Every structure is written in C-alpha cells, then in structure tokens.
Amino acid sequence: MDLLQERRQRLRQVTERIIGLPSLPTVVTQLLSIVGNPASSARDVSQLISTDQALTAKILKVANSAFYGFPRKIATVQLAIVVLGFETVKNLGLSVAVLKRFQQGNDHPLFDRQQFWEHAIGCGVAGRMLARGRNRKLEGEAFVAGVLHDIGKLVLIEYFPDEFGEALDQARDDLLSIAEAEEQVIGVTHAQIGGWLAEKWKLPESLVEAIAYHHAPQDVEEPDEILIITHMANALTRHNRIGSGGDRLGASLSPGVAEVFKNGRDISDDVLLAGLSEGFREEIETARVFTDLEGELFETPGDNPTTEDDGGGAPVGA
C-alpha cells in the first residue's frame, strides 16, 4: 500500500469514528436553538436549563465567581440570564457541557489532562480579554472558542490513543509541533478533527472555523474575527505557560494576525505578547472557578452535600 492509499484509509477510519461520536447533551442543543430564536425569553431559557440540576448548579457557581464579578448573589438561572445575558449563559452551558463530556478518558505520559484544561481555560480567558478590546459583543463567543479550540486532542486521546500517543512521542523526539506529528502519523490534525466535531454538533460557523484553523488562520481567505482572536489567545496562553496542550515548542504567531494586534506599531511578536500579558495575568486570576478542575466545575451530584442543586440529575454529558 503506498502512502497516498494509507493516508486515505486513515482518513476513512477517522471519519467513521467521528460520525459515531456522541452528540451534545439534549439540553445544550435545545439551549442553542432557543437562544438563536429572537422570540425566546429569559423564562424559556431558565425553564430549559432548570430541567438539568447538575448543569444548573454549575452555571450558578461560575456565574457567582470572581470571573463575572457581580456584586450580589445570583440565586436563579433566570436572574443569571437577566444579569449576564442570553449569550453568556448559553456560552457557559456549552463550555460546562463539553468540559464534562471529556472529563475522563485515556492518558499518556506526554498529555496531562489537567494541564490541558488549564490551557483551554487560559485560552478562553485570553480570548475574552482580547475581544473586549476589539468588539465587546464577541466576548462570550471568544471565550467558548478558546475553551474548545483543542477539543480534537481529546477526541484523539479517547478514540485514537495509540496513534495520538505515537504522534506525541514523535513531536518530542523530532522537535515537531503536535499538529505536524499528527499529520505524519494519523494523516489529519487535532484542529481538523475538532472542526468536524464542531460541525457535527452544529455549533456556529465562527466557532467551527476558529477550532479548525486556530493554527493556520492564513489558510482562510477572509478569517472571522473569532478565528483571529483565538489564534492570538492560543499564542498568548502558551507565551505565559498557562497549562499545556502537549506542545513542547514555543508560541508562534501568524504574521497577519500579529499585524492586526500591532496596530501599525513596529514591534516584535515577543514585545507584542509581553505587552498583552500583563492584563492577561491579572484576568486569569479571576478564572480559578474554571481551572480548579477537581473541585468546583467537576463536582458530580452528591459530591457536595451542602449544595441543594447538586442533589439530583445525571452528570452533564453522561
């Protein structure tokens, strides 16, 4: 079998397994649909989320964290929607559901799951911060794009553990990026697989694009603002060594994206990243509710007997 035939066979195998991946929890797909309907009300969204006690509890925990900084306690989902807005609550629900879906799985010595999630949340926080400086309406979507940008790696470690492990080893031994090693070993990258999964989940096109091209925005003729922000957020998070997605190489920036954020200034990429890092490091401190992966976010019903909302319902994504 020649290399081209072998590559096609690998692609077929990947595609077949992607088709068989589980969908998002029903409550999340319904949430995306309701929020996309202009006729929907806060009551509609609140009633839907309240049918899932585990999701309700986790949304309220995050909504009451320093990440959003609301001065008084948000006690109900409906109040969270009024205070934070439809889009923010939708993005919280989506992020929590995906985090929960891939909470556990296969391991590899070169892939630390907790470090992975710290990197993912770091990218989300960076994306939110960068969007605030460009278009505040994109803050929530930029956060989700950052959290989900490497979701393809979790698909690989769960469904292709041997091949992904080989790619990790090759990336280390040959000083390659993980994407380069994946291309050589598997025939596709985590970004491509993540994009396929996002399409299967019927996520917004801007999120699909950000996930699929977060390493190569230059491959998109007219990159969406969310893609530009996600690429920079990934570089900024790696520059500050927040968690790890498994890559051992330093941060790299697409020249086009770098120019967008330099705003005509004649500075190096390192100076640009250093300048953005001060605000980012301050902001990441407010995101501990997300990065405490073994505590707040990943408690399952019954783990915390003092929290009434955690008393029933199946874990999100179960």
Residue 206 and residue 69 in one domain: no
The verdict on 80 and 117 lying in the same domain is no
Does residue 117 sit in the same domain as residue 250? Answer: yes
If asked whether residues 118 and 214 sit together in one domain, one would say: yes
Is the pLDDT reported for residue 306 higher than 50?
Answer: no
Question: Which residue shows structure tokens 């500050």?
Answer: 240
* Mean pLDDT of the residues in the chain: 82
**Per-residue confidence (pLDDT) for residue 18, from 0 to 100:** 63
* 68: containing domain: 1-103+299-318
pLDDT at 22: 62
Whether residue 268 has pLDDT greater than 90? yes
Helices 225-239 and 113-132: crossing angle in degrees, nearest 10, is 130
Residues 6+ apart with CB under 8 A from 189: 152, 179, 182, 183, 215
130, 136 Cβ separation under 8 angstroms: no
**pTM as predicted:** 0.81
More confident residue, 161 or 95: 161
For the chain, the domain total comes to 2
| % of the chain with per-residue pLDDT over 90 | 38
Q: What is the pLDDT of residue 297?
A: 44
Q: Which of 232, 200, 195, 202 is nearest to 217 (CA)?
A: 232
Q: What are phi and psi of 183, to 5 degrees?
A: -60, -40
Model pLDDT, residue 274: 94
pLDDT digits (tens, 9 = 90+) for 243-261: 888 887 877 899 999 999 9
By CB neighbour count within 10 A (0-12 exposed, 13-18 middle, 19+ buried), where does 177 fall? middle
221 and 268 in a single domain? The answer is: yes
